[in-house]
Amino acid sequence: SLVTDSANSASAYATGHKSVVNAMGVYEDSTKDPLDDPKVENLSEILKRTRGMSIGIITQAESTDATPAAIIGHTRRRANQDFLAKSYLDDNHRPDVIMGGGSARYLPSSVPGSKRKDNDNIIQDFKDKGYTFVSTSKEMMAAPSDKPLLGLFHTGTMNVYIDREMLKNPKVLKGFTDQPNLMNMTKKSLDILSKNPNGFFAMIEGASIDKQLHVMDWQRAAYDTIEFDKSIEYAENWAKEHGNDTLIIVVADHAHGISISGTYHERDGKKGPEAVRVYAKSIFPTFKDADHDGFPDNPDPDVTLAVQYANHPEYYENYHFMKTPTPPALSVTETKEEASKVGDKIEYHQVSSASSKANPARIHPGDPEVLMPANTPKDDAQEAHAADDVLLNAGGPGSEYFHGTMDNTEVFFGILRALGINGNKK
């Protein structure tokens, strides 16, 4: 397909091979079974096999989500997350540090909230292999650095920075009130992984930048981008303090079709599209950081950014920050009656199909209702990935390999080159 998803794009980074949408670590075949496709050895397997290096997957998504799973797993369908959780136990690629959300994929089906189809207790299986298990930020920071770690901080995807660190709405957090930030997850993972004298490979993901763009919430995506940037800064400082012998690569799985076209304000009484200011009228936004923590104090200042999307479902554009996460469109089932001729008779039957409609909760009180018609199929209620190129930044030993326009599979070979590893040899 022309546009990738996260599974096969991350798999290209992890294996040096192309695959298909939803697949990781496999050459797809023509059978329906998503687990019988020929496997491709990935980074975690090569690095453990050839060097005995430690492996870490750190994410704010479910730890079995597409990007982290692509470093370890083998399946034609990324949705097989219960299988992926169990496969993480395999000695050939078992990560030494796993952190993220998604405890529902590890809990036996008998436990409320579990999404497993069996009664396997994967958390207990990790404990039996000597792992420390933590479920809160406090527990994570106190965990020993000389033992492998499994940290699962939410049953699903972890909450984003604005909701977790700023607004702290109990209805949004749903009881998960002590989730760590990505900076501390990075710190703890490096403390543990660096204990291995053979070195380590860590995949550290700011996962909800993508997820918040899918639901067209650019403010939450922007704050998570700042959080990701601060985690990169910590990793860079850590590398300097440890002899500058660590290659750091920063790259996205894929692009989203969003752009800043100017700014938005209602100082002169204009609202809606008429309050979008372009060119000379696009005065600077009034974001402030009074406490100097690197994050704007208010995600909804009186002059904000005008961010617009190249693809989208039908939705109401209101240009304001939503204090409660609010999807742009709602999935609905449309039913209509169709007629068919059977012999000499006409018979009528109901036909159902998936659709989506604009979410009225996105209408900003007092502003005009600006209904944006869908420019993608009506059965998709979210914004979609774009085929744009993405930026890659690299620093440290081996970083000179990364320059110009590259195919995503070349990232894999750049990593092996920096480590001096021939993946074809034992």
Under the banding of pLDDT at 50, 70 and 90, the label for residue 186 is very high
Same domain, yes or no, for 319 and 347?
yes
Same domain, yes or no, for 251 and 310?
no
Task: State how far the Cα of 235 lies from the Cα of 224, in Å rounded to an integer.
Answer: 17
Under the banding of pLDDT at 50, 70 and 90, the label for residue 96 is very high
Same domain, yes or no, for 277 and 245?
no
Instruction: For residues 115-141, give the mean pLDDT.
Output: 97
Same domain, yes or no, for 220 and 322?
no
Helix axes 409-419, 6-15, angle to 10 degrees: 30
* Pick from 137-146, 304-313, 327-336, 384-393: least confident: 327-336
Instruction: For residues 93-110, give the mean pLDDT.
Output: 98
Same domain, yes or no, for 78 and 226?
yes
The verdict on residue 198 lying in a domain is yes
What residues contact 54, with CB distance under 8 A and at least 6 apart? 96, 97, 192, 193, 195, 196, 198, 199, 200, 201
Could you tell me how far CA 245 lies from the centroid of its own chain?
Answer: 28
Tokens 């990505």 sit on residue: 182
Tokens 């920075």 sit on residue: 161
Same domain, yes or no, for 96 and 242?
yes
Same domain, yes or no, for 275 and 413?
no
Contact between residue 239 and residue 186 where contact means Cβ atoms under 8 Å apart: no
Strand partners for 277: 263
Under the banding of pLDDT at 50, 70 and 90, the label for residue 112 is very high
Instruction: For residues 225-238, give the mean pLDDT.
Output: 98
Same domain, yes or no, for 343 and 194?
no
Residue 322 tokens read as 């939503």
Domain count, the chain: 2
Instruction: For residues 184-202, give the mean pLDDT.
Output: 98
The verdict on residue 425 lying in a domain is no
Residue 166 tokens read as 């700023």
The verdict on residue 399 lying in a domain is yes
The verdict on residue 273 lying in a domain is yes
Q: In degrees rounded to 5, what are phi and psi of residue 306? A: -100, 105
Same domain, yes or no, for 398 and 267?
no
The verdict on residue 378 lying in a domain is no
Residue 311 has pLDDT above 80, yes or no: yes
Average pLDDT of the chain to the nearest whole number: 95
Same domain, yes or no, for 265 and 202?
no
Whole-number pLDDT of residue 45: 97
The verdict on residue 426 lying in a domain is no
Q: Which domain, by its residues, includes 308?
A: 258-372
Q: Kindly report the pTM of this predicted structure.
A: 0.94
Q: In degrees rounded to 5, what are phi and psi of residue 375? A: -120, 15
The verdict on residue 129 lying in a domain is yes
Task: State how far the Cα of 26 lies from the Cα of 24, in Å rounded to an integer.
Answer: 6
Same domain, yes or no, for 325 and 412?
no
DSSP string, 30-58: SSS-TT-SPB---HHHHHHHHH--EEEEE
* Segment 132-161, tens digit of pLDDT: 999 999 999 999 999 999 999 999 999 999
CATH number at residue 110: 3.40.720.10
* Segment 314-371, tens digit of pLDDT: 999 999 999 999 999 999 877 777 777 777 778 777 777 788 999 999 999 988 899 9
Same domain, yes or no, for 249 and 269?
no
Under the banding of pLDDT at 50, 70 and 90, the label for residue 426 is low
The verdict on residue 10 lying in a domain is yes
Contact between residue 195 and residue 147 where contact means Cβ atoms under 8 Å apart: no
